[in-house]
Amino acid sequence: MNNALGGPRQDPAGLYAAAQELMDDPALKGLPMLMGFTGFADAGHAVEQITAELLRSGSPRTVAEFDVDQLLDYRARRPRITFVEDHLEDYSPPRLALHVLDDGLGQPYLLLAGPEPDFQWERFARAVVGLVEQLDVRLVLWTHSIPMPVPHTRPLGVTVHGNRPELIEGISRWKPVVSVPAAIGHLLELRLVEAGRGVAGFVVHTPHYLAEAEYPATAVAGLEHLGAAASLMLPTDRLREANREIERQIAEQVASSEDVRELVEGLEARFDERSADVPRRSLLAAMSGELPDAEVLGAAVEAYLATQDGGRDEPGHARGTDDDADGGGSAEGAAPPAD
């Protein structure tokens, strides 16, 4: 692999090239590191929006870049290219890299972002742990989003896991024991804990009937928790502004469909009943992009109610608990990782 960043390659396994001057910069030692990987359980496109917003506003400098040709299955997730009348342009290759950025107060932090690797998970994890150790990162935070039976009219819940009790206690109220498909973030969390580093993961609960849309509320919730945990001022203003118009669209669609209105009211009642004594820390925004219409939302109503009537014990349906303040149980294939 050619080192496009200059300087000697830092990874003995040859998975990434690093910028030597940044790796040696004392100002980068001990910074908090955020992680976001697209391609897994990204309900509401939360991780995609979070990483795009951070990179857009944080004046990023690349510390290390991974060789995606070794890590990705291009046929499963094909890059985009533009056909313009009679020629091709704007090929957008995937990029998985570690950056240093500045928050709203000029405080530096690290961000590892890009598509989740398809191959070589253990080698990738060893490489990331190596970077963390070289840069003396003491706190690593990551986030993703899952669909849950919760209403969009209430603050979004978050499940937190890791080895930092002060970041977990008082936030997670749904604490199941459930087997779920693993993501690279889960493996990295395990390996970083084994390496003695502080880690916390934040799983945002996204309304299941809006999970396929680009939903900035999930990104705002993720940014709020990441920022609070790392003592950073992360950007949310643009996403909050996008929410205002989207909430208007949602309200119109709910008003136009009795089925959807009944679904939302039912979820609201259940949410309020189960979270009456659970403090809520923030108000969240909503979404941008194309929303499902009333017919699609109505289909989601029927699918969700069917799971409540008789599907709780079927394969693919996780059991909730009475402590689930945000709706108890999950939509099919949507349970959060066990804490």
pLDDT of the residue at 295? 52
Distance CA 142, CA 122 (A): 18
Q: Which domain holds residue 45?
A: 16-310
pLDDT (tens digit, 0 to 9) for every residue of the chain, 339 residues total?
444 555 545 576 789 999 999 999 999 999 999 999 998 879 999 999 999 999 999 999 999 999 999 999 999 999 999 999 999 999 999 999 999 999 999 999 999 999 999 999 999 999 999 999 999 999 999 999 999 999 998 888 899 999 999 888 877 666 778 888 999 999 999 999 999 999 999 999 999 988 998 999 999 999 999 999 999 999 999 999 998 788 888 888 888 888 888 888 898 888 888 776 655 443 233 333 344 444 544 555 555 455 444 443 433 333 333 334 344 333 333 333 433
| The token pair that represents 233 in the structure block | 């001022």
DSSP label at 332? T
Residue 331 lies in a domain: no
Evaluate whether 271 touches 154 at the Cβ level (below 8 Å). yes
Evaluate whether 109 touches 101 at the Cβ level (below 8 Å). yes
Identify the three-state secondary structure at position 197.
coil
pLDDT of the residue at 289? 36
Evaluate whether 167 touches 229 at the Cβ level (below 8 Å). yes
Residue 339 lies in a domain: no
Tokens 């995606």 locate to: 68
pLDDT of the residue at 302? 55
Identity of residue 324: D
Pairing relation of β-strands 33-38 and 61-66? Answer: unpaired
Number of residues in the chain: 339
The reply to whether the predicted model has a pTM over 0.95 is no
Residue 41 lies in a domain: yes
Q: What angle do CA 189, 95, 131 make, to 5 degrees?
A: 40
Distance CA 229, CA 194 (A): 21
**Domains in the chain: how many in total?**
1
Residue 99 lies in a domain: yes
Tokens 């896991």 locate to: 161
DSSP label at 154? S
Distance CA 218, CA 42 (A): 10
Residue 319 lies in a domain: no
Backbone angles phi, psi at 56, to 5 degrees: -70, -35
Residue 2 lies in a domain: no
pLDDT of the residue at 239? 95
Element (H, E) at 244: helix 237-255
Q: Domain holding 168: CATH number?
A: 3.40.50.10900
Residue 45 lies in a domain: yes
Residue 323 lies in a domain: no
